[in-house]
Amino acid sequence: MISTDIHQAAHLLKNDAVISIPTETVYGLAGNIFSEKAIKSIFNLKKRPLSNPLIVHIGNANQLEDLVTQVPILAKKLMEKFWPGSLTLVLPKKDIVPNFVTGGKDTVAVRMPNHEQTLKLLNLLSFPLAAPSANPFSSISPTKASHVEAYFGASIPLILEGGNCQKGIESTIIGFENDTPVLYRLGSIALEDIEHEIGPVNIKNFEEHKPMAPGMMAKHYAPKTQTITTDNILESIDFYKNKKVGLLLFNQIINSENITHQEVLSFNSDLAEAASNLYAAMHRLDRLNLDIIIAEKFPENQLGRSINDRLKRATASTNTSYVFN
């Protein structure tokens, strides 16, 4: 059920239910971090690997001290600049944070979302929420309540309607190894903007078996339709000219009779607008029974780098599934 009733949402969460909540990045599948029942439900609904940590969402920055043992100076600088917002910090956890939330690791990923409705909800609760993206593991992330409903239907009791997600791709994740900042996931805050605040950041954003943070596995964000990326869109169209082809493009339509449908993410060549529109366009293409989706590679800078990361993982392959028993 799609609803705007945050009090009903709070009631369900207080009773160990899992619901979907909006954020500025993507819709999340949310549950009380201290409820093993709720966290098991999240893993089972998503068919998510148990080693893949969940992000903990808090309603105000003061709650961070309840969850972590220390906050490096550079982390504080990032919080001052980007919270509330689409920045997740990976920090040493206190014992109160359950291991089933962190994938058994001694760190916890935390963020304060920048969505008015969800902040109100979080501040109605006495506990933080774990809230990975509200999609089956490795599928396209949801940026509308209707995307969540299409994935889970009546399997969850409530989807909190919060409009279309403004940023459109997941949060940027930063941790610290020997006091050195490390980027674990490219996201809706550009690497350049992070480095402008704290200086050079190491990039360590692929880990298949024991990821430090969400979004590090090779297969993610993938349509059911076969999808490829290309540097030469016209050459790829010609190669697949006998197929039912859909295009995912940056800033202009391609004139070709060999195309069934095309999605342009920003006619203004605005990378933030393109990121905001990415997943919704992928959902539309995936519903068209195409033979193949051809995605144009984006400029490898600013949010173009984050979009390319999503496209690269969307075209990876895997056949692994997991269930929390």
Instruction: Name the pTM for this structure.
Output: 0.93
Percentage of the chain lying above the pLDDT 90 cut: 86
172 is in an annotated binding site: no
Query: Any binding-site annotation on 155?
Result: no
Residue that terminates a domain, selected from 137, 154, 169:
169
Q: What is the pLDDT of residues 198-225, one digit of tens each?
A: 999 999 988 777 788 877 777 777 899 9
> Domain with 270 in it: what CATH number?
3.40.50.11030
Range of the domain at 64: 2-71+95-169
List, for the chain, all residue ranges whose pLDDT scores fall below the cut of 70: 317-325
Q: Is 205 annotated as a binding residue?
A: no
Tokens of 323: 């269930």
* pLDDT for res 217: 72
Residue 83 falls inside a structural domain: no
Alpha helices in the chain (DSSP H): 6-14, 36-46, 73-82, 99-102, 116-122, 145-152, 191-198, 233-239, 271-286, 302-314
- Specify the pLDDT at position 29: 97
Would you say 313 is a known binding-site residue?
no
Annotated ligand binding at 131? The verdict is yes
147 known ligand binder: no
> Would 289 be classed as within a structural domain?
yes
Question: pLDDT tens digits, residue range 74-122?
Answer: 999 999 999 999 999 999 999 999 999 999 999 999 999 999 999 999 9
Dist. CA 155–CA 257, nearest whole Å: 42
**DSSP label of 53:** P
Report whether 220 belongs to an annotated binding site: no
Is 222 annotated for ligand binding? no
Contacts of residue 44, Cβ cutoff 8 Å, sequence gap at least 6: 323, 324
151 in Cβ contact with 143 (< 8 Å)? no
Question: Is 310 one of the annotated binding-site residues?
Answer: no
Q: What is the pLDDT of residue 296?
A: 96
